[in-house]
Amino acid sequence: MANSKRISSLPLQVVLYFNGWFLVLFYIAEMALLIYKATTSASYPPGNLAAEVILLLILCLLDIIRIYYGAKGNLTERKLPLLLSLLFVPPLVGGYLYLTVWQTTIHRLEYVLLALGYTGLLLELVIGAITLIVFQRSELLG
């Protein structure tokens, strides 16, 4: 760090912290709802269930990586980890979109959970982009 002034973003760190806890609850609830739908719906195709479980596991892994790199980039005031974190947002939005629109069956609770998930991603994207700009300007002004 060239200067002694701290430029890491407290709002970004707060969003990452709460997103982390929300995502734990989100994935537990989604898995529980998938199990519920698979056991109560006779028309739930087994192939779809396996695909949706795999999708949830991939999304969970991407979210963990996104939050790790976002926090690391913010706290160390490095652009690359923060940029990597922001690059994980579009694939996650795509996965959330699948869960919102094309999932075999969807409950109202899932709409609420996904709306909160979209909100967290949007907040992180906006605040993360602003933080990335601040890091770049600080480096240029040096």
The tens place of each residue's pLDDT in the chain, 142 residues long, gives 445 678 899 999 999 999 999 999 999 999 999 999 888 887 778 788 899 999 999 999 999 999 999 999 999 999 999 999 999 999 999 999 999 999 988 999 999 999 999 999 999 999 999 999 999 998 888 6
Total structural domains within the chain: 1
- Residue 4 inside a domain? The answer is no
- Residue 83 inside a domain? The answer is yes
Distance CA 67, CA 16 (A): 6
Q: Could you tell me the end-to-end alpha-carbon distance of the chain, in angstroms, rounded to an integer? A: 10
- Residue 112 inside a domain? The answer is yes
- Residue 3 inside a domain? The answer is no
- Residue 1 inside a domain? The answer is no
Phi and psi, residue 7, nearest 5°: -120, 5
- Residue 76 inside a domain? The answer is yes
Give the predicted TM-score (pTM) of the model.
0.90
By residue range, what is the domain housing residue 41? 10-141
Q: Which residue has the tokens 């300007």?
A: 137
- Residue 17 inside a domain? The answer is yes
Distance CA 86, CA 69 (A): 9
- Residue 18 inside a domain? The answer is yes
